[in-house]
Amino acid sequence: MNKMLGKRAVSAHQKNLRREALLTAARELFVEAGFFDVSMAMIAKRAAMAKGTVYLYYKTKEELFLELSRRDLEIWFEDLISKLQNLPENPETHAFVKAVMATLEGRQTAIRLLSLLHLVLEQNVSREEVLNFKLDLLNHSEIAGAEIERVLPFVHQGQGVEILAAIHCQIIGWGQMTDISPVVNEVLEDKRLSPLRIDFAASLQTSLLCMVEGIKKLSSP
Amino acid sequence: MNKMLGKRAVSAHQKNLRREALLTAARELFVEAGFFDVSMAMIAKRAAMAKGTVYLYYKTKEELFLELSRRDLEIWFEDLISKLQNLPENPETHAFVKAVMATLEGRQTAIRLLSLLHLVLEQNVSREEVLNFKLDLLNHSEIAGAEIERVLPFVHQGQGVEILAAIHCQIIGWGQMTDISPVVNEVLEDKRLSPLRIDFAASLQTSLLCMVEGIKKLSSP
Amino acid sequence: MNKMLGKRAVSAHQKNLRREALLTAARELFVEAGFFDVSMAMIAKRAAMAKGTVYLYYKTKEELFLELSRRDLEIWFEDLISKLQNLPENPETHAFVKAVMATLEGRQTAIRLLSLLHLVLEQNVSREEVLNFKLDLLNHSEIAGAEIERVLPFVHQGQGVEILAAIHCQIIGWGQMTDISPVVNEVLEDKRLSPLRIDFAASLQTSLLCMVEGIKKLSSP
Amino acid sequence: MNKMLGKRAVSAHQKNLRREALLTAARELFVEAGFFDVSMAMIAKRAAMAKGTVYLYYKTKEELFLELSRRDLEIWFEDLISKLQNLPENPETHAFVKAVMATLEGRQTAIRLLSLLHLVLEQNVSREEVLNFKLDLLNHSEIAGAEIERVLPFVHQGQGVEILAAIHCQIIGWGQMTDISPVVNEVLEDKRLSPLRIDFAASLQTSLLCMVEGIKKLSSP
DNA sequence: TATGAATGAGAGTTCATTCAT
DNA sequence: TATGAATGAACTCTCATTCAT
């Protein structure tokens, strides 16, 4: 038994501590080994709980990781919104992109979770959980979207959320293309393959820059 | 025994037919159930072969699907190159994007495979297989990249492959975001969530348009 | 579920019952079919457990049978030590051999396990398990060895364990030569082969007799 | 195709070459990896034949190894008979045992095969093969047995074969007890276990000595 | 005679999930 | 609420043997 958590979580507060402990354990293991190679048994052990206990808090492995994604996304959104708020109106495109890029620094885990989200996390989860997740996502998206609309004057109303989705899309895309397995890494050391070696940050920054410039151009008559 | 294939694949041609049969079976099942819910046993059964026989042709499930991806990518690249060749030099951005979009029509499977590629297919596969796959990919990328450079005069040399990667990135990104599970689909019918309902083709087309316009603008002084 | 064992083995006692049930099932099947033709699945079924449950108690098939051997050896050693203790000091060689032979009556299974021990059981088992097994074996050997030294005055100190090993050797040897397959049994009915028909007890008794007499003779000046 | 063997074995001579090649391959692999870890595919490959071809010469894996054992036993018997013939009548017990021991030098493979013989090789083999093997064995045993009777005058008629069986028994017994797996070897390095460390040659020699002395003593009134 | 593709049962093992305690 | 024993389907993969060619 985890001494820190006490014997039984009776109060809502204690239950939240348990949930938090599980998420922390899951995140650590996810970083170390990836989603597929982490088992519920490992998570339980790391969180100093019994296997069965995990299921009192999360009905499936996917639900646990979906919650983890929600937390990470929430933090990211808050960071993004805050950084956008600090931008002057109609900034250099470059400044806008830099701000977005800054929100991704040190967020490898969140980026990897984003890639898993659609492929695995939204499976084997109840309607209700998905709905809550999506409502949460929408909520944050709309706030961040509005902020984008405020900052970039050439973005018309409602387009903010779409731009957010496009950013999301590129994070997933570049994320996957650069989050490669050790074997691939080794193979890519072959000189002939140098054109296929891609840097996440550089590629994302460039493509975001193009995107924003493109939007700007297409918006003005 | 599969009557169509004969009893034994002795000639190289017959062996290729067997490989093809396995790929076809795998593709069908992949469409029906997705990568994770398809087992080698199912593929064997669908291809009317014994379980052990599959392993004579592909050492792992990942190797089989990697080959499937290679085939689909090859076809896609050929289509892309051909459609680019049919474009006049310096076409309307819209025409360029339309051409790219046209290559994706009816290619759901290829798009889904592209998403899996980095996450799972390039694991549990030998160095050699990955190397061959990558060399193949590079080869096609360079031809298509050169064609892009020819078609879009503002794209300077070597940038064609990068643009291809960016297209690739967006196909993966939008692909994942729109290739959703039945539960999610159901949830998204909720009116409140309409801003999160995304159409693959529309989103990709728009974002490609922006990207190309952005590149054009950033390239000209 | 096995009604006798209850639903869940929570206490150490209940777990031991489970282990015992598995050993019993394994022993029965071993008698019926031999080591190679017994699978973990069969053992599980016979013990009325699920396949996965077996692996909670024994990590490999070899570990299970090693434990079975340990139990059988332990019982044999206890019997041997007790029978030796009941012997007067410096008995007739014949009486000594008879005592040893008596410990083997109705111990076919133990004899067959002894033969497998070195060939297969000590493979695919962890260092630790082997070590424990060997320590156990040594422990019993030393007690029995000391008893042999007490009983046979011409046996000098430390030689008891060696004699035990020689007994062990002959049990294995005659055991293997007489534990023959049905086909061989059938073949040996051929009159010409009568010199090759060997009886375990008779052969062992004779060879032990010779051995002890030989030791006696070689020890006295 | 193995160039040395030619394309097709039509003549009896060529067929024998094939059989010999298979036995050689099997012996090499048996030394390297042991019976269980050698597959028919490996043997075929080593002998530069196709898998199916092996089955034209030996109906089962066991039959092949049984033949291998027969060859090795034959050679051993010839050596034994020859060495016994070179002994003077009524030699020192020690000289007799030395002669037997000398026949085992460099015959690890034969010794290991002997241990497998009863446990696995005589299974999954046709009646006929076993009969031939046994007749062969009997034949050699009788010659060698007669030689023993000649050499050791206290051995009465018919007892020679029995003594041979007892020698056989001890070779198997000590062979198994000393032919240990790497794990066991490692474990036996533990100082506490030193009494369990056994040397094949030393143990066998001692036990043969005792046996012969015992027989001598028990034979004389 | 020779081949090697095909078989397919079965091996050991894992693990998300359930549920008696 | 917490436990962890139990489940059992599913997994990948092996290999002696068969048999169409």
Q: Where are the domains of chain D?
A: 1-57, 62-219
* Tens digits of residue pLDDT in C78-93: 999 999 999 998 999 9
- pLDDT tens digits along C143-152: 999 999 999 9
| pLDDT > 90? residue C98 | yes
Kindly report the nearest CA distance between residue C144 and chain D, in angstroms. Answer: 13
Q: Which CATH architecture has domain D62-219?
A: Orthogonal Bundle (1.10)
Q: Is pLDDT above 90 for B161? A: yes
> What residues have CB less than 8 Å from A37, skipping those under 6 apart?
none
Measure C71 CA to F2 C1' (Å): 36
Instruction: Enumerate the residues of chain A whose CB falls inside 8 A of the CB of residue B120.
Output: 36
In chain A, % of residues over pLDDT 90: 82
Structure confidence at residue C115 (pLDDT): 85
Start-end of H helices in chain A? 12-33, 40-46, 51-57, 61-85, 93-104, 108-116, 127-151, 159-178, 182-187, 200-219
pLDDT reported for residue D21 = 93
Cα-flanking dihedrals φ and ψ of residue D181, to 5°? -75, 160
C1: confidence class by pLDDT, cuts 50, 70, 90? very low
pLDDT band, very low/low/confident/very high, at D7 (cuts 50, 70, 90): low
Is C52 near strand F, with its CB below 7 A from some atom of it? yes
Range in A64-68, B196-200, C163-167, C181-185 the model is least confident about: C181-185
- Residue for token pair 């994604």: A69
Residue at the smallest CA–C1' distance to nucleotide E10: C39
**How would you label C93-121 residue by residue, b for 16+ Cβ within 10 Å and e otherwise?**
beebbbbbbebbeebeebbbbbbbbbbbb
**H or E element, residue C55:** helix C51-57
Shortest Cα distance from A7 to chain B (angstroms)? 36
CB of B123 under 7 A from strand F?
Answer: no
Nearest Cα of chain C lies from the Cα of D163 at a distance, in angstroms, of 9
Question: Per-residue confidence at A221, pLDDT binned at 50, 70, 90?
Answer: low
pLDDT: is B44 or C221 the higher one? B44
Cα gap D63→C204, rounded to integer Å: 29
What digits encode the pLDDT tens for the residues B181-190? 888 999 999 9
Confidence of residue B118 (pLDDT cuts 50, 70, 90): confident
Q: Which chain F nucleotides are covered by protein, judged by CB under 7 A?
A: 1-21
Chain E footprint positions (protein CB, under 7 Å): 1-21
pLDDT in tens, D131-150: 999 999 999 999 999 999 99
Per-residue H/E/C for D111-148: HHHHHHHHHHHCCCCCHHHHHHHHHHHHHHHHHHHHHH
Question: What average pLDDT does this structure show over C144-171?
Answer: 96
- Overall fold of domain A1-57: Arc Repressor Mutant, subunit A (1.10.10)
Q: Which residue has the tokens 């007994």?
A: C167
CATH class, B1-58 region:
mainly alpha
pLDDT greater at residue A221 or residue C38: C38
Residues of D in contact with C188 (CB under 8 A): 134
**Cα–Cα distance for residue pair D111/D129, rounded to 1 Å:** 21
Q: Could you tell me which residue, C220 or B218, shows the higher pLDDT?
A: B218
Cα–Cα distance between B172 and A62 in angstroms, integer? Answer: 22
d(CA D212, CA D180): 28
Helix (H) or strand (E) holding C199, with range, is: none
Burial status of residue D5 (CB atoms within 10 A of its CB: 0-12, 13-18, 19 or more): middle
Give D131's contacts in chain C (Cβ within 8 Å). Answer: 187, 190
Cβ neighbours of residue B173 closer than 8 Å, sequence gap 6 or more: A168, A169, A170, A171, A172, A173
- Rg for chain D, CA atoms, rounded: 20
pLDDT digits over D52-83, tens only?
999 999 999 999 999 999 999 999 999 999 99
Question: What average pLDDT is seen over chain B?
Answer: 91
Residue A213 has pLDDT above 60, yes or no: yes
| Distance CA A178 to C1' E17 in A | 34
With beta carbons less than 8 A apart as the criterion, state whether B140 and B173 touch: no
- In the prediction, which pLDDT does B5 show? 61
pLDDT computed for residue C181 by the predictor: 87
The CATH code of domain C61-219 reads 1.10.357.10
Q: What is the pLDDT of residue C5?
A: 60
Look at C205 and C13; give whichever has higher pLDDT.
Answer: C205
Greater confidence (A215 vs C11) lies with A215
DSSP string, A8-40: ---SHHHHHHHHHHHHHHHHHHHHHH-STT--H
Helices (H), chain D: 12-33, 40-46, 51-57, 61-85, 93-104, 108-116, 127-151, 159-178, 182-187, 200-219
Contacts of B161 in chain A (CB under 8 A): 195
Least CB–CB distance from B218: residue in A161, A193, A209? A209
Taking each helix axis as running N to C, give the angle between helix B200-219 and helix B93-104, from 0 to 180 degrees, rounded to the nearest 10.
140
pLDDT above 80 (res A4): no
Per-residue pLDDT band for B3 (boundaries 50, 70, 90) equals: very low
Output the six-digit token pair for D40. Answer: 């028919």
Closest CA to B170 of B214, B123, B207, B121: B207
| Residue whose Cα is closest to the C1' of F7 | C50
The mean per-residue pLDDT over the stretch B90-115 comes to 94
Torsional sign, CA A136, A139, A143, A146: positive
Containing H/E element for C215? helix C200-219
Residues 29-68 of D with CB under 7 A from strand F: 37-41, 51-52, 55, 59-62
Cα separation, A215 vs B155, whole angstroms: 19
- Of A104 and B89, the structure prediction assigns the larger pLDDT to A104
Residue D61, token pair as written in the block:
């894996």
- pLDDT at res. A2: 47
For residue A50, give the 3-state DSSP assignment: coil
CA D110 to C1' E18, whole Å: 55
Phi, psi for residue A89 in degrees, rounded to 5: -70, 145
Average pLDDT over residues C10-36: 89
Phi, psi at A71, each rounded to 5° = -60, -50
Superfamily of domain B60-219: Tetracycline Repressor, domain 2 (1.10.357.10)
Confidence of residue A1 (pLDDT cuts 50, 70, 90): very low
Burial class (CB within 10 angstroms; exposed 0-12, middle 13-18, buried 19+) of B4: exposed
Write down the mean pLDDT value for chain D.
Answer: 92
Q: Which residue has the higher pLDDT, B211 or A34?
A: B211
Q: How far is the CA of C52 from the C1' of E11 (A)?
A: 14
User: Mean of the per-residue pLDDT values for chain A?
Assistant: 92
| Amino acid in position A187 | V
Using CA atoms, how far residue D55 sits from D13, D50, D191, in Å, is 18, 9, 49
One-letter-per-residue 3-state SS of chain B = CCHHHCCCCCCHHHHHHHHHHHHHHHHHHHHHHCCCCCCHHHHHHHCCCCHHHHHHHCCCHHHHHHHHHHHHHHHHHHHHHHHHHCCCCCCCHHHHHHHHHHHHCCCHHHHHHHHHHHHHHCCCCCHHHHHHHHHHHHHHHHHHHHHHHHHCCCCCCCHHHHHHHHHHHHHHHHHHHHCCCHHHHHHCCCHHHHHHCCCHHHHHHHHHHHHHHHHHHHHCC
CA distance C106 to C115: 16
CB distance A213 to B208 below 8 Å? no
pLDDT of residue D6: 58
Do the beta carbons of residue B169 and residue A211 sit within 8 Å?
no
Mutate which: A187, A197, A219, vs B, most B CBs within 10 A: A187
Among chain D residues, CA nearest to C94: D218
For range C193-203, the mean pLDDT: 96
Helices and strands of chain C, counted as H and E runs: 10, 0
Burial (CB count within 10 angstroms: exposed 0-12, middle 13-18, buried 19+), residue A116: buried
